[in-house]
């Protein structure tokens, strides 16, 4: 693990048993704003600060891969003004934080249908990925215009095309074959998936990869999710007995 040797280790957390891949479903921005009689966009703005805090906390602890569910394929159906605001926030985050990612040796990666993003956002995302491609301490996956069913469907189509061309025999298809045709190819499956806001479902997120992930559902709305709660979830995770279907 590549943890920061200068951090103050929270009581009860073993840095030698940090999960390699943590995924977060960042839910509750709109409800956070509504509770405060604010526009939903204000909740997304506050949520962006939480993103920054959690990314840096993950980097300090030596997590290899952090995946954030930022915008689903279903989110395109939200009101146009809210979608536009989300895209503006995304572009601003990418533009303003790329240097921080470089300084922390974090590589940015996008999971999803990047081609559906507005041109200016897509170009900024591509630029940020290019600027951080040589970083090696942590991968930060942003799931944008992402849906697990679409991801699996696209992977199956790619496998079918290889069978049709004669490059692959059907009997040679394994679990790894499928994994190698997903957006997360070459990455470990998530050890831990956390969803904020009290909703208890995965909402079309990493459905293949989540087969043996440990799941945590916290009632905390995403803008209120803190570094301290993140640490406590990791401490609780380390107490679980992960058997992967075995005795």
Q: How many residues does the chain have?
A: 247
For residue 30, pLDDT beyond 70: yes
Active site annotation includes 131 = no
Q: Which of 39, 75, 105, 135 is catalytic?
A: 75
Domain of residue 229, residue span: 17-146+189-237
Active site annotation includes 75 = yes
- Whether residue 66 lies inside any domain: the answer is yes
Contacts of 78 (CB under 8 A, 6+ apart): 86
Q: Give the SS3 label for residue 63.
A: coil
Average pLDDT over residues 180-207: 98
pLDDT at 247: 56
Judging by beta carbons within 10 Å of its beta carbon (0-12, 13-18, 19+), is residue 103 exposed, middle or buried?
A: exposed
pLDDT at 134: 97
For residue 245, pLDDT beyond 80: no
Q: Which of 4, 6, 27, 180 is catalytic?
A: 27
- Whether residue 9 lies inside any domain: the answer is no
Domain count, the chain: 1
- Whether residue 38 lies inside any domain: the answer is yes
- Whether residue 242 lies inside any domain: the answer is no
HSE at residue 75, side-chain half, CA atoms within 13 A, is: 26
What's the mean per-residue pLDDT of the chain? 95
- Whether residue 171 lies inside any domain: the answer is no
Contacts of 77 (CB under 8 A, 6+ apart): none
Beta strands in the chain (DSSP E): 21-25, 65-72, 106-111, 138-146, 192-195, 214-217
Quote the pTM value.
0.95
DSSP 224: G
Distances (CA, A) of 148 to 37, 41, 145: 33, 26, 10
Which domain CATH number covers 80?
Answer: 3.40.1180.10
């Amino acid at each position: 693990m590549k943890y920061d040797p200068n951090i103050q280790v929270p009581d009860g957390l073993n840095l030698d048993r940090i999960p390699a891949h943590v995924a977060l479903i960042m839910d509750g921005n709109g409800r956070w704003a509504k509770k405060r009689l604010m526009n939903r966009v204000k909740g997304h703005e506050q949520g962006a600060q939480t993103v920054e805090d959690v990314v840096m906390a993950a980097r300090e602890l030596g997590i290899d891969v952090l995946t954030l569910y930022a915008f689903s394929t279903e989110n395109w159906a939200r009101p146009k003004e809210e979608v536009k605001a989300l895209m503006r926030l995304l572009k601003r985050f990418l533009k303003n934080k790329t240097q921080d990612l470089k300084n922390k040796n974090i590589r940015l990666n996008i999971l999803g249908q990047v081609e559906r993003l507005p041109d200016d956002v897509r170009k900024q995302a591509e630029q940020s990925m290019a600027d951080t491609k040589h970083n090696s301490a942590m991968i930060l996956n942003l799931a944008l215009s992402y849906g697990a069913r679409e991801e699996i469907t696209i992977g199956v189509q790619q496998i079918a095309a290889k069978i049709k061309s004669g490059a692959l025999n059907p009997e040679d298809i394994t679990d790894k074959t499928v994994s190698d045709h997903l957006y997360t190819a070459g990455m470990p499956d998530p050890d831990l998936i956390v969803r904020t806001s009290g909703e208890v479902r995965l909402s079309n997120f990493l459905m293949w990869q989540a087969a043996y992930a440990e799941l945590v559902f916290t009632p905390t709305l995403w803008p209120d999710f803190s570094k301290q709660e993140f640490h406590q979830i990791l401490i609780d995770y380390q107490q679980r007995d992960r058997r992967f279907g075995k005795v």
